[in-house]
Amino acid sequence: MGTDILIPLESNPDVMNKFLQKLGVPSEWNIVDVMGLDSEMLSWVPRPVLAVLLLFPVSKSYEQYKEKEEKLILSKGQDVSIDVFYMKQHLSNACGTIALMHSVANNTDRIILRDGPMKAFLEEAKPLDPVARSKLLEKTESIINAHKELAQEGQTRTPSAEEPVNHHFIAFVHKDGMLYELDGSKSFPINHGPTTPDTLLEDAAKVCQEFMARDPNEMRFTVVALTAAD
């Protein structure tokens, strides 16, 4: 199964919520659209917010910044809480699933998972390193099959698994007083500095705006949040 190329999940809250609930996330938590990043639009997002997910185009400027950022962190270092759950992405087009799993895995103190694929995976994955967690995901048929099923839903034409994908999902979470960017294609989590459960949305929005500023001519950005259901 590790050689599978998946069809990417659509950035559609209905699809994402079906996926999460299929894995055992209770319906009192769900994904909602973030319609804008200014303070007025953010005020419409239900609270509490447990995670923010960004879908963005993978551009030359993004790749250049990613390389520069990694070199800077490797030279200067950064603090990363041991409580951050992070996994690498080795399965093609699985970034949406991994972003959702990062969002849930780092909030199991708030989300009481039902018995199911997510709970079982996290229990087995917790003691593993990020690469081993990725390999475990590739072998977890219940999660991979849920991805395949839900990737067929949505409002846009379903692409084939072989079509090139130039968009990428990442997640932002709060852990131990810090804002972390969790991107399975990077070498490690990125610590973006202090945040709180109450300011996670606003602080993550600022980082999302930095992504957008690096590609000012690009409009294909989507932001969603994992929040308490209305």
Going across the sheet that includes 178-182, the strands are: 29-33, 222-228, 49-57, 167-175, 178-182, 190-194
pLDDT above 90 (res 153)? no
Q: Which of 31, 35, 40 is nearest to 230 (CA)?
A: 31
Q: What does the block give as tokens for 141?
A: 């048929």
* pTM across the whole model: 0.92
Q: What is the pLDDT of residue 150?
A: 86
Please list, in sequence order, all residues whose beta carbon lies within 8 angstroms of the beta carbon of residue 126, skipping any fewer than 6 positions away: 85
Residue of higher predicted confidence among 161 and 43: 43
Neighbours of 102 (CB within 10 A): 27
Q: What is the pLDDT of residue 166?
A: 74
Measured distance between the N- and C-terminal CA atoms of the chain, rounded to whole angstroms: 38
Packing angle, helices 130-139 and 141-151, rounded to 10: 70
Q: What is the pLDDT of residue 10?
A: 82
| Sole residue written with tokens 């250049």 | 64
Catalytic residue positions, numbered:
95, 168
Using CA atoms, how far apart are residues 7 and 93, in angstroms rounded to an integer? Answer: 6
Q: Which of 113-117, 158-162, 191-195 has the lowest mean pLDDT?
A: 158-162
Sign of the four-CA dihedral 109, 177, 198, 33:
negative
pLDDT band of residue 154 (cuts 50, 70, 90) is low
Using CA atoms, how far apart are residues 65 and 171, in angstroms rounded to an integer? Answer: 18
Residue of higher predicted confidence among 185 and 4: 185
Domains, the chain, in order of start with CATH, read: 13-228 (3.40.532.10)
